[in-house]
């Protein structure tokens, strides 16, 4: 069964702009993100369901193989702060989370041929459902 990914038009526009201006060293990391944006359902920010991971969402997820839980904020690359609390959307796991609904399970490729599955456990903060439409 295919998963429907939902992404706000604002996030989509910003991500496409970042991808277009990304240095060549980062371009290969954006291929999966480009595919996701091309195949996602794009909606106005006010129409993003509250159970969907969007940019700047605080999300709890687990690696299914290990059951190890993580709580991180999905951010644009320039907002990664060097702590374990932020996750770049350009990272394979960040790309995998974008647009997922709570309880969704998705696979991602680590970039070295290894794949893992993750499950979205909870979304503690989502800008759109909090009224932060233009963040």
- Check which CATH number belongs to the domain holding 16 and give it: 3.10.50.30
Considering the domain boundaries, does residue 1 fall inside one?
Answer: no
Domain range holding 15? 6-127
H helices then E strands: how many in the chain?
Answer: 4, 7
Q: Using CA atoms in the order 89, 93, 121, 49, what is the torsion angle rounded to 10 degrees?
A: 40
Total-model pTM: 0.93
% of the chain exceeding 70 in pLDDT = 97
Q: Is residue 119 part of a domain?
A: yes
Residue 116 pLDDT class (50, 70, 90 cuts): very high
- 59-92 pLDDT, tens digit per residue, is 999 999 999 999 999 999 999 987 789 999 999 9
Give the 3-state secondary structure percentages of the chain, helix then strand then coil, rounded to 5: 35, 30, 35
The reply to whether 134 falls in a domain is: no
What pLDDT is stored for residue 82 in this prediction? 78
33 within a domain of the structure (yes/no): yes
pLDDT tops 70 at residue 133:
no
Listed in sequence order, the residues at least 6 apart from 45 whose beta carbon sits closer than 8 Å to its beta carbon are 8, 9, 10, 11, 127, 128, 133, 134
Q: What is the pLDDT of residue 97?
A: 98
Count of structural domains within the chain: 1
Residue 133, domain member (yes or no) = no
Q: Lowest-pLDDT range, 35-39, 82-86, 101-105?
A: 82-86
Model confidence at 135: pLDDT above 70: no
135 in any annotated domain: no
| Any domain includes 38 | yes
d(CA 2, CA 81): 33
Residue 105: its pLDDT value, please? 96
Question: What is the average pLDDT across 8-29?
Answer: 89
> Does some domain include residue 132?
no
**pLDDT band at 1; cut points 50, 70, 90:** low
Cα→Cα distances 100→4, 37, 112, Å: 8, 12, 23
């Amino acid at each position: 069964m295919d998963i429907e990914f939902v992404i706000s038009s604002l996030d989509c526009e910003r991500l496409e702009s970042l991808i277009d201006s990304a240095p060549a060293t980062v371009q290969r990391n954006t291929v999966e993100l480009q595919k996701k944006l091309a195949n996602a359902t794009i909606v106005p920010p006010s129409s993003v369901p509250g159970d969907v991971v969007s940019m700047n969402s605080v999300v709890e997820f687990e690696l299914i193989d290990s059951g190890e839980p993580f709580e991180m904020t999905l951010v644009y690359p320039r907002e990664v702060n060097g702590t374990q609390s932020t996750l770049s959307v350009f990272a394979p796991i960040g790309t995998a989370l974008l647009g997922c609904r709570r309880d969704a399970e998705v696979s991602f490729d680590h970039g070295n041929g290894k794949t893992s599955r993750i499950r979205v456990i909870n979304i503690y903060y989502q800008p759109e459902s909090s009224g932060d439409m233009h963040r």
